[in-house]
Amino acid sequence: MQWRGKNVVITGASRGIGRSLALELARRGARMILTARSRPELESVAELTRSLGADTVVVASDVSAADSASEVVAAAAGQLGGVDVLVNNAGVGLRASVDQLARADLERVLAVNLLGPIAYIQAALPHFRRQGSGLIINLSSLAGLMPVPHLGGYCATKHALVVLSRCLRAELREAGIRVMLVHPGAVDTDFRHHSLGSPFPSVPGRSRVSAEQVAVAIARAAEDGRDEVFVRPLDRVLLATARLLPRRRDRILLRRYGRTGVRP
Ligand code: NJP
């Protein structure tokens, strides 16, 4: 798939990975609808994408709100003339041991990380089916493929998104609609500072990738028609090793994520 001329909906586009992806896709000739809750931050991203030549529409919305998906997808159809790609990127973290999980926090991460993407998919699918093509890109995490102690609630939402996306991929294979899953590791964004629960411990710099690296990996994977995206080749190796040595994996991750964190 080529990005030039494609109409792309990006959720969580006000900062972090969503912002970098908007800029990367603008450089590749896409047109876009950017959504997140904070309008001023979205407007400043839109100013940059427009300066790169991309038609850009901004809709401030909370992905967990009942009518968010239908409003944003309708805006894409009405103002850009259609929707070709949906990127479910908006997400929120949650750090708490399972015995300390607050129900309200768990409901919030489920609403943003799982129910929001499902609503957006359901709103976009009629457009994709009519045109006989479309691409859904769901941002999961390495934490959606393996258990991370003290991130159980977050992992549960991302594991669910992984399984849902793979079911959807099978359901849509004959319809010409693709489903891509992205599995980043730690990314250098403000994600940890916006997470619910207790503060995240810092992750060593060498383990993190930049939001720009994630954006380029997504853009290229869509062009290459890949289904599952790891940002670094090393991540696949880490995952395979973690599966082979589960007790060692648990000890290492517990040391890293069980530490006391610091609020920014
Ligand atoms: O996070 P951050 P990232 N309704 O916090 C928006 C996954 N991931 O870019 O609403 C609508 O910088 C928020 O905007 P605003 C992660 O799970 C990350 O790092 O204005 N939008 C902002 O634009 C997530 O799915 C890491 O506050 C909502 C954006 O979402 C994706 O990558 C590792 C919203 C979040 O920007 C992007 O994360 C990994 C709502 N209710 C997976 N709530 C990592 N960073 O280490 C939030 O494996 N947003």
Beta strands at 56-60 and 94-95: parallel, antiparallel or unpaired: unpaired
Q: Is 141 in the pocket of ligand 1 (CB under 6 A)?
A: yes
Beta pairing partners, 183: 230
Domain count, the chain: 1
The answer to whether the CB of 56 falls within 8 A of the CB of 25 is: no
Of 71, 91, 93, nearest to 9 (Cα)?
A: 71
Atom 6 (ligand 1): residue with closest C-alpha? 12
What pLDDT is recorded for position 253?
A: 87
What pLDDT is recorded for position 264?
A: 42
CATH number for the domain including 160? 3.40.50.720
Q: Which two tokens stand for residue 132?
A: 């006989």
Cα 254 to Cα 52, 149, 250: the distances in Å are: 44, 6, 6
| Average pLDDT per 10 consecutive residues for the chain, totaling 264 residues | 97 98 98 98 98 98 98 96 97 96 98 98 97 97 95 98 98 96 96 93 76 98 97 91 90 82 49
The answer to whether the CB of 22 falls within 8 A of the CB of 47 is: no
**Domain for residue 155, yes or no?**
yes
In the numeric block, the tokens 């990738």 are attached to: 209
Q: Is 190 in the pocket of ligand 1 (CB under 6 A)?
A: yes
Structural domain containing residue 33: 7-257
The answer to whether the CB of 140 falls within 8 A of the CB of 183 is: yes
Half-sphere exposure of residue 148: CA atoms within 13 angstroms, side-chain side: 24
**Domain for residue 1, yes or no?**
no
**Domain for residue 263, yes or no?**
no
Q: Is 215 in the pocket of ligand 1 (CB under 6 A)?
A: no
**Domain for residue 2, yes or no?**
no
E-assigned strands of 28-184?
A: 31-36, 56-60, 85-88, 94-95, 134-139, 177-183
- The answer to whether the pTM exceeds 0.85 is yes
Mention every residue, 6+ apart, whose C-beta is less than 8 A from residue 138: 88, 117, 161, 165, 179, 180, 181, 182
**Domain for residue 243, yes or no?**
yes
What's the rounded Cα separation, in Å, for the pair 210 and 212?
A: 5
Half-sphere exposure of residue 57: CA atoms within 13 angstroms, side-chain side: 21
**Domain for residue 178, yes or no?**
yes
Q: Is 62 in the pocket of ligand 1 (CB under 6 A)?
A: yes
Cα 91 to Cα 64, 117, 196: the distances in Å are: 10, 10, 11
What's the rounded Cα separation, in Å, for the pair 187 and 218?
A: 14
What's the rounded Cα separation, in Å, for the pair 108 and 106?
A: 5
Beta pairing partners, 182: 139, 229
What pLDDT is recorded for position 263?
A: 47
Is 154 a catalytic site residue?
yes
What pLDDT is recorded for position 131?
A: 94
Put residue 58 in one of left, alpha, beta given phi > 0 → left and psi -120 to 50 → alpha: beta
To test ligand 1's pocket by mutation, which of 20, 145, 189 has the most ligand atoms within 8 angstroms of CB? 189
